[in-house]
Amino acid sequence: MREAPIAVFDSGVGGLSVLAEIQRLLPNESLLYLGDCGHIPYGEKTPEFIRQRCSVMAGFFREQGAKALVIACNTATVAGVADLRRDFPDWPIVGMEPAVKPAAAATRSGVVGVLATTGTLQSAKFAALLDRFATDVRVITQPCPGLVERIESGDLHSPELRALLKHYVDPLLANGCDTIILGCTHYPFLKPMLKSMIPETISLIDTGAAVARQLQRLLAQRDLLAEGPNRPVRFWTSADPASLRKTLALLGQVAGEVEKFNL
Ligand code: DGL
């Protein structure tokens, strides 16, 4: 069981930012990655639709013999993690949420910005996160429709993307944020562009590395850490495998196999 793979999924390629952190921290592990690219953006879908997708993908990974599941998507976590934990109580499942706690601890100006999807920001889970950790700071939330679609198409540099991103970031700067949470796993791919439009004193916080550490803890507790050597990552997409292969290359992932996910 130790050498069984770890399953990772996202609505698309965003979860690759988390996959990279898992590979860095746990190089012996074999990984499976599924991008539900045929159904992006999750951020604009109903929680019910996302819950159904989560359940289909989790069932698939169980059949693949995965020893753990990582929901590498904030939007899918708020919609689906509770149901998955109920349906698969014996499975280590790691979800993710915007890094409100570390951002509230780090801010000096007392103003924190959150870039995330509409679905994440509208969720009760996010409201609870603010109630718990952000009582002493001001939090400015900014939904960012359109960014995910651009990243999915491999666009990390165009003037149109830059204009859209600036439109979302400017209100955070105008409100005095000194800490910006990247609350969607697609957004770490925009860090170079973001850094070019904000002062150096502003910190960008994402949760990929924390998720990898949490996964390591859960596997260690159950004596499930692999000794290696690992096997190449297997990729699936619910859209076109050739197009995912192209985007993977642009995002710095060497893709072995990319298979079509038909469920
Ligand atoms: N990557 C996902 C997240 O972390 C959402 C992207 C989407 O809207 O499909 O929230």
Q: Is 30 annotated to bind ligand? A: no
Q: Is the pLDDT of residue 195 over 80?
A: yes
- The encoded tokens of residue 12 equal 């698309």
**253 confidence band (pLDDT: 50, 70, 90):** confident
Q: Supply the pLDDT for residue 255.
A: 65
Q: Helices 74-87 & 124-133, crossing angle to 10 degrees?
A: 100
User: Is any ligand 1 atom within 6 A of the Cβ of residue 183?
Assistant: no
Active site residue 184: yes
Mean pLDDT of 20-29: 97
State the CATH architecture for 6-96+209-260.
3-Layer(aba) Sandwich (3.40)
| Measured CA distances, 230 to 20, 30, 151, 221 (Å) | 14, 5, 28, 20
State the CATH architecture for 100-206.
3-Layer(aba) Sandwich (3.40)
Q: Is the pLDDT of residue 56 over 80?
A: yes
Domain ranges of the chain: 6-96+209-260, 100-206
Residue 134, classed as helix, strand or coil, is: coil
Q: Is the pLDDT of residue 133 over 80?
A: yes
Q: Is 75 annotated to bind ligand? A: yes
User: Is any ligand 1 atom within 6 A of the Cβ of residue 237?
Assistant: no
Tens-digit pLDDT profile for residues 196-237: 999 999 999 999 999 999 999 999 999 999 998 999 999 999
pTM for the structure as a whole = 0.95
Active site residue 54: no
Phi, psi values for residue 73, rounded to 5°: -155, 120
Tens-digit pLDDT profile for residues 180-194: 999 999 999 999 999
Q: Are 233 and 109 in contact (CB under 8 A)?
A: no
Judge if 6-96+209-260 and 100-206 fold alike in CATH terms. yes
How high does pLDDT run on average in the chain? 95
Which H helix or E strand runs over 138? strand 138-143
Q: Supply the pLDDT for residue 249.
A: 84
Query: 232: how many CB neighbours lie within 10 A of its CB?
Result: 11
Pocket test for ligand 1, best of 50, 148, 168 (most atoms within 8 A of CB): 148
Rg (CA), the chain: 18
User: Is any ligand 1 atom within 6 A of the Cβ of residue 14?
Assistant: yes
What is the widest separation between alpha-carbon atoms in the chain?
A: 52
Pick the atom of ligand 1 nearest to 44's CA. Answer: 8
